[in-house]
Structure 1
Amino acid sequence: MRSHVIRLGLALTACVALVASCSSGSGGGTGEEPPKIEPLGALGAGEGQLNLIAWAGYAENGSNDPAVDWVTPFEKQSGCKVNIKIGNTSDEMVQLMRSGQYDGVSASGDATLRLLYAGDVAPVNTSLVPNYETISGFLKDKPWNSVDGQMYGIPHGWGANLLMYNVDVVRDAPNSWGAVFTDAGKYAGKVTAYDSPIYIADAALYLSKSKPELGIKDPYSLTAEQLDAAVELLKAQRENIGEYWSDYTKEVQAFESGTSVIGTTWQVIANTIGSENKVQVNTVLPKEGATGWSDTWMVSSKAAHPNCMYEWMNWITSPQVNAQAAEYFGEAPGQTKACEFTTEKDYCDIYHATDQEFAAQIHYWTTPQKQCVDGSGDNCTTYDEWVDKWQQIKG
């Protein structure tokens, strides 16, 4: 069904995960006012070069597959020669951007605020990116990509962290995250979970519904007490975990071999398993909602080639190119008009690309900070604290 997913295996193996864990001490993100940096006022001539940090699969130039290339046409049109540095984790991307050697980055939500508050990225003048107008509204002006209505990037693509299960083993068609938390003992040793401190938010989301007395309103805005509750839930889950995954190919193999039968997943993983017809799996967006990701192209505050970067942001979010990138990678395109250009005509339906009701149930990855990202106060736990807790959970 999805031959491009097979081709993507090499790229995503290098990528490891859309938002792999950010290590302690990687800087930025106090939650206070960001540095005063003016966005580009007007487009000028391209500078002839563009240095990008990107997730594998986001800036394909034909080197992985000659048939997959949207960088070369951009170079010909813009005159901007593109140099691509693959970022394997969000933490690596943050460190690379700090060097000042790159013009832009495809940042995920656990990196964006760190870059923003550290002054490593500049606000974006969206009027200089014509294709921004038709990007899905539910991706704009959000806590992970804007401050006080000022966008700090252009949304690229997004997806949900779903619950997946082997239908031949898990027969009760679960519709709650309780299946991998409170009921995980039913599948002891065959439960799988995403390997990152940001996964703490999944536990917090479940607790926000199952234990409302904890007062969790936002899974990324946790007080010390709320964080401890999520950690206890995850420690209990740990007893039933057979394998944590960050490389998506590992989860594919685990479900196909039967060593995993239920756990958190991405739709692209389920589609890959389905295309190989080795086991039958189902995915569901549980009744509590789900965490997820929204990736954003951000401009370095030290960009040597800002005009080329703006041209790139408009190019990568143009309908045809955004369709190519999203379909190759395995996520929903940010551009609403991209759905007209996907190879698989039902692609956008499968990924709920323009489904606002579906998107509203997703709590997109956002960097936890002392200044609560939901605006509730200044007594929340930081990502560094989450990193420490995650290490305790895994032992």
Structure 2
Amino acid sequence: MTARPIRTARLTRRARAAVTALLVALAIPAAGTARAAGTATAQPHVQRACATVPAGQARCLALVRTDVQGGLGVRGPAVRNRARATAADTALPEGYGPADLRAAYNLPSTGGADQTIALVDAYDDPTAEADLAVYRATYGLPPCTTDNGCFRKVNQRGETAPLPQSGAASGWATETALDLEMASAACPQCRILLVEADEPYLADLAAGVDTAVALGATEVSNSYGGTESHGTTAFAKDYSHPGVAVVASSGDSGYTVPSFPAAYSSVVAVGGTSLTRADNARGWQETAWSGSGSGCSAWVDKPAWQQDTDCPGRTLADVSVVADPDTGPAVYVTSVPRGSGGWTVVGGTSASAPYVAGVIALAGDPAALPDASRLYSAPAAGLNDVVDGSNGSCDGDYLCTAVPGYDAPTGNGTPNGLSAF
């Protein structure tokens, strides 16, 4: 008798998830449905790099700290206990650097020399290579340049010229810098291919993914998103390339309508966490970031390898790493809308997607991730289970609340070494 109320409650949540996904996909409001965390208003010192876009386009998902601009100093948000800051900390930009992230996720410092990570972005970042050089030199990473064959920049057709118009004014150059530097932080020895779409139209970005694969990318990262709808399913084939791991940001608006292209079942959807130092065996702790995108797809069927019960369609996300701008990485970018740019802190799942692409590259077996199925059968020790925090209101359900095991805001957890990848 006691089981009946529990089973009824679960079915109610499941039904509500299905109805919510359908209604929000159709833009019909429904009382008592998902409420997103809305990071733009929840964190007033954070602004979106890219403005709202019209239908048919994708928005870059980088979130920029407005209280950290162009200066050096103790990495305040990243070092919660100022007493722990060392002299070395004061000589580096504010925000996490490669060594911090490598320690947090138990990653090796070498590997991936035979891998090519592609970053697909819109517009041109005219200072991409120069900014990347500053970032890598600051943190002691090996140079990655056109001259040494590590770095390559092309348009969506795979040509080195003509490149698209500058993305400085639109904010896409900030996104590009973040992508390049997070991929570098995860896999310093990987080659990097930057594919710049003409504009952020869904068709252009999808073409960029195809071009990246044609040019030999082993991992393709996509740090942008559009609201899932019937029309976005037309590009599913462009994000499915057996032998190549395709990853995408799950979004920065909390529990809401799923984000394209992360909703495709062939894509590893990457959510976000808040990451801080801690007095525990790991030395770090993570909670679900309030902005981490999660949702229940109304258009993509649930893949066989996904067994959660309260969403009848594809559930986002699959895995996560740090994305909270308040505990975010340092980024060097000079092609910005105003001023001369420099060091700042940038977050969002735009940071987590290229980092996970780098983790996959370090593991060296991208063919094992034609989708996210491997992450659902990985040894528990290979992932840090995130069990605290939420990204919206859903009556405590795993669709917006971090719980033991799988949950939508953080997926199956965060990397603990490479065994899960």
Q: What TM-score, normalized to structure 2?
A: 0.28
Higher relative helix content = 1
Structure having greater relative contact order (Cα 8 Å, sep ≥ 6): 1
